[in-house]
């Protein structure tokens, strides 16, 4: 098989790139190591509920290209406000403490802007500040890592461009993105092991044989590139090093079914322990469903990895029991959960730049020669870590390839 363009990785970025080129009439092939499409966009239907184990929110919704895509598909969009900022009945988190924690975050943001010379986000708040654990918890959700592991410039690049408008898809964000691949030529369960850009055509070696193409778009997670899973000829030291400086953080979800859902109001939220970074964020009854979505990021996610399946469930039930009562907590049962770092061809949640390395996103996103291009959430300048950032990076890479193919007809 000799398509014009091979796209490696069928996550949001790879699917967007493949669709764009297919719409331009190009002969393409999307190659994916897993036995499903979507990558970190993955909806699992359990007890008739479409649960998003990866992305769930259309962030910066007013300018989110996937919101436009969802609308065009006729997909139902939920535009109600997110409940994250509210603590149900102020349980375990008094209004005075909520205000103090918010003030600490605002001061932290101001210091990030004013102390730009120091690129470690963790240095913008004292280590013994009473709300430091709260800020590390927020960093865990935003970056998948604590502040000491995050570039201040990178964090600001996201923060300054993201809006407060966040929408959801009751049918699942993963459903939307996987559905976008429905009409694409696809090879599932096929792992790319090497890409040789030195010959007359680009040679893409997979565990099922060689494919040749006029160009390739590599849309795999940074940890996969940094590990050297794909051997490049000529070697691409700058890209591989950039990927290593943009590691995937840790974020995981656990869904608990509720025996007595009427005991808690729908669309509400609880933070387990606002004074501890090793805590869960609990979205109660999203869409009114009889479930709690437990979210662990950064320090908390790593603690849950150590705790394992049963330990994570016990931890969440303990925190929820402390706030909502032991009787209520006794009626909670796990029905689904993610361990993204265990997925061999993904390796984590989303990318953050290590201190001093915000500029690596531009290096990763730059083409490696005329025929070899990169896409994926980590390539986005300010929408990294998101599904729409990944999607847009795929479109951008496809447009660069299209420009190349237009100027140099295939041999
Ligand atoms: C728990 C969690 C919550 C999230 N919440 C949100 C949210 O609310 N909103 C939001 O916008 N984003 C969210 N995200 C982030 C979002 O899901 C990702 O940024 C986005 O889906 C990444 O898309 P991608 O195409 O860059 O990479 P991926 O989706 O990782 O796709 C890359 C694909 O490449 C494949 N691959 C790897 N190596 C090879 C190989 N050698 N050969 C062939 N294929 C290979 C992988 O199997 C994978 O399918 C969340 C992520 C997680 C984990």
Sorting pLDDT into bands at 50, 70 and 90, what band is 85?
A: confident
- The 10s digit of each residue's pLDDT in 292-337 is 999 999 999 999 999 999 999 999 999 999 999 999 999 999 999 9
**What radius of gyration, in Å, describes the C-alpha atoms of the chain?**
22
What global pTM score does this model have? 0.98
- The 10s digit of each residue's pLDDT in 360-381 is 999 999 999 999 999 999 999 9
For residue 214, the number of C-alpha atoms closer than 13 Å in the C-beta half-sphere is 20
Sign of the C-alpha dihedral, residues 178, 78, 72, 398?
negative
As a whole number of angstroms, the distance between CA 131 and CA 134 comes to 5
pLDDT at 232: 98
**How far away, in angstroms, is 46 Cα from ligand 1 center?**
21
Which ligand 1 atom is the nearest neighbour of the CA of 66? 11
Pocket test for ligand 1, best of 15, 54, 187, 297 (most atoms within 8 A of CB): 54
- The 10s digit of each residue's pLDDT in 137-195 is 999 999 999 999 999 999 999 999 999 999 999 999 999 999 999 999 999 999 999 99
As a whole number of angstroms, the distance between CA 186 and CA 183 comes to 9
C-alpha 73: how far from chain center: 22
For the record, the structure tokens of 152 come out as 């201040």
pLDDT at 393: 98
For the record, the structure tokens of 326 come out as 């032991």
- Domain extents for the chain? 5-41+53-77+170-247+350-407, 88-165+250-342
- CATH superfamily, domain at 5-41+53-77+170-247+350-407: FAD/NAD(P)-binding domain (3.50.50.60)
pLDDT at 175: 98
Sorting pLDDT into bands at 50, 70 and 90, what band is 385?
A: very high
Characterize 80-114 residue by residue with b for buried, 16 or more Cβ atoms within 10 angstroms of its Cβ, and e for exposed. Answer: eebbeebbbeeebbeeebbeebeebeeebbeebee
Q: Do domains 5-41+53-77+170-247+350-407 and 88-165+250-342 have the same CATH topology?
A: no
Average pLDDT over residues 101-107: 97
As a whole number of angstroms, the distance between CA 121 and CA 352 comes to 12
Q: What's the CATH architecture for 88-165+250-342?
A: Alpha-Beta Complex (3.90)
**How far away, in angstroms, is 11 Cα from ligand 1 center?**
5
**Atom 47 (ligand 1): residue with closest C-alpha?**
345
pLDDT at 117: 63
**Atom 33 (ligand 1): residue with closest C-alpha?**
9
**How far away, in angstroms, is 373 Cα from ligand 1 center?**
18
pLDDT at 116: 60
Ligand 1 neighbours by CB, cut-off 6 Å: 8-14, 31-34, 39-41, 54-57, 59, 191-192, 219-221, 224, 229-230, 251-253, 338, 340, 345-346, 349-350, 376-377, 385-388, 390
Average pLDDT over residues 232-240: 98
Q: What mean pLDDT value characterizes the chain? A: 97
Name the helix (H) or strand (E) containing 239.
Answer: helix 237-244
Judged by phi (left if over 0) then psi (alpha if -120 to 50, else beta), residue 356 lies in left
């Amino acid at each position: 098989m000799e398509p014009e363009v091979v796209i490696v990785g069928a996550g949001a970025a790879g699917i967007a790139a493949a669709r764009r080129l297919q719409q331009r009439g190009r002969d393409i092939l999307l190659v994916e190591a897993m036995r499903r499409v979507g990558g970190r966009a993955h909806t699992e239907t359990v007890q008739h509920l479409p649960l998003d184990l990866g992305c769930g929110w259309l962030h910066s919704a007013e300018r989110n290209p996937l919101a436009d895509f969802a609308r065009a598909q006729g997909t139902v969009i939920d535009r109600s406000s997110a409940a994250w900022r509210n603590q149900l009945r102020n349980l375990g988190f008094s209004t005075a403490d909520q205000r103090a924690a918010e003030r600490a975050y605002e001061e932290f943001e101001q210091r990030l802007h004013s102390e730009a010379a120091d690129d470690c986000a963790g240095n913008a708040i004292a280590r013994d500040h009473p709300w430091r654990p709260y800020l590390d918890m927020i960093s865990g959700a935003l970056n998948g890592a604590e502040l000491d592991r995050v570039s201040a410039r990178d964090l600001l690049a996201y923060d300054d461009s993201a809006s407060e408008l966040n929408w959801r898809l009751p049918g699942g964000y993963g459903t939307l993105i996987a559905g976008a691949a429905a009409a694409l030529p696809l090879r599932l369960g096929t792992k790319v092991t090497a890409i040789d850009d030195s010959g007359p055509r680009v040679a893409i070696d997979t565990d099922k044989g060689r494919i040749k193409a006029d160009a390739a778009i590599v849309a795999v997670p940074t940890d996969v590139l940094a590990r050297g899973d794909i051997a490049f000829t000529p070697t691409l030291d700058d890209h591989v090093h950039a990927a290593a400086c943009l590691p995937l953080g840790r974020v995981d979800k656990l869904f608990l079914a509720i025996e007595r859902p009427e005991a808690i109001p729908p669309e509400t939220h609880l933070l387990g322990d606002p004074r501890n970074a090793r805590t869960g964020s609990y979205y109660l009854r999203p869409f009114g469903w009889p479930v709690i979505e437990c979210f662990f990021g950064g320090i908390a996610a790593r603690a849950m990895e150590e705790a394992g399946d049963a330990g994570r469930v016990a931890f969440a039930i303990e925190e929820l029991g402390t706030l909502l009562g032991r009787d209520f907590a006794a009626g909670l049962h796990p029905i689904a959960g993610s361990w993204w770092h265990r997925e061999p061809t993904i390796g984590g949640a989303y990318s953050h730049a290590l201190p001093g390395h915000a500029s690596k996103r531009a290096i990763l996103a730059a083409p490696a020669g005329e025929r070899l291009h990169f896409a994926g959430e980590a390539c986005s300048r300010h929408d990294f870590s998101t599904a729409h950032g990944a999607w847009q990076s795929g479109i951008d890479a496809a447009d660069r390839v299209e420009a190349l193919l237009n100027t140099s007809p295939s041999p």
